[in-house]
Copies of this chain bind each other. A is one copy, B any other.
């Protein structure tokens, strides 16, 4: 037992980084400032009013009118788990399209909630065709299909329209992981008729991690209400959570107040910029980055046809120490980028240009540093 106070209490003296990794991205100073707003109680009418505004703004970025659109009180993986835990009952057949780290995580969660899981796989950096999903559904008539829209571990952008068509033809529900796309490129929940879609705060929305948007279509929300079994996960049980976010305002868990302030401010910034302008900015800066990397003779891992504008994977050239370069970028230039995960460990760097981090100056700084470190 530690009886005395820890000595030498240090203040928060931390380096300032330029965050160009797989997330978190940099937060707008306005967003950080919003968190200095004094706390309110989670049932204060003034906070309840803010919750309404947050939901309205979330519907705007998801491009949806879904009533059940809320921030989950945890980071992106908690939103993923909310999607899985609420949609999957023990024994339900689940199909997971697995082409990266985060689809593996979805499959793992679905198994933990008792799902009968089939995964179909593609090499990391590739995407699925609707025909592959259709064939898998004939073999394994799943209730729930999960796919990652923007794979943060590979930089691949999964086309959704045709997959949604075959999933709906089979009478199944599609869960879409939009962690690295929401706010950076179109997700279009209503137009595409996505059933469940979730994201994180710390990617293209540029709020600190800690709250994570999720939306359920009316058809998916019906699944929650008609479950035969209770959701094993109490904290993420969306039929309970929605009673707090909905008209009833029934206390479930204490909302993370400051994180909701930051989300509100970040979403307000998205709305001020406008979704289409924001998508165009992400695309423009990604193209600058791609041109710059290719002019340094680097190879981009994902073909342009399905390359994400928000997260770029670039192959590590032969003879270069992947980790060492990343550490030098961090220590000498204060720039964070990511290394590869899983199949791509040691083989790629992951460069994020998301939200507040996505600007031409950051692209220039990174390219200039890369040039010095590589040559």
Contact = CB atoms under 8 A, between A and B. Distances in A.
A29 B108 CA distance: 41
Given A14-B38, A24-B254, A24-B257, 8 more contacts: A2-B64, A5-B274, A32-B37, A74-B253, A76-B253, A76-B254, A232-B232, A256-B259
Nearest to A57: B6
A359 to B, nearest CB: 15
Nearest to A203: B254
Interface size range of chain A in the complex:
35 or more
A236 B75 CA distance: 12
A14 B75 CA distance: 25
A234 B77 contact: yes
Contact of A63 (B1, B50, B200, B261): B1
Interface stretch (A169-177, A265-273, A360-368): A265-273
Copies of chain A in the complex? 2
Contact of A21 (B41, B50, B208, B330): B41
B235 A74 contact: yes
A17 B5 CA distance: 31
Contacts of A34: 12
Contacts of A275: 5
A154 B254 CA distance: 17
Contacts of A38: 14, 16-17, 26-27, 32
A98 interface: no
A39 interface: yes
A242 to B, nearest CB: 16
B64 A42 contact: no
A299 interface: no
A295 interface: no
Contact of A256 (B29, B47, B75, B255): B75
Contacts of A23: 254
Nearest to A36: B32
Contacts of A44: 17, 330, 336
Contacts of A42: 24, 209
B9 A271 contact: yes
A360 B26 CA distance: 41
10 contacts: A3-B63, A12-B34, A12-B265, A14-B50, A17-B40, A19-B39, A35-B208, A44-B330, A44-B336, A210-B259
A363 to B, nearest CB: 18
Contacts of A73: 74-75, 78, 210
A86 interface: no
Given A235-B78, A256-B210, A60 B14 contact: no
A233 interface: yes
Contacts of A231: 112
A91 B333 CA distance: 54
A2 B255 CA distance: 26
Contacts of A191: 1
A10 interface: yes
A190 B10 CA distance: 26
A15 B81 CA distance: 34
Contacts of A271: 5-6, 9
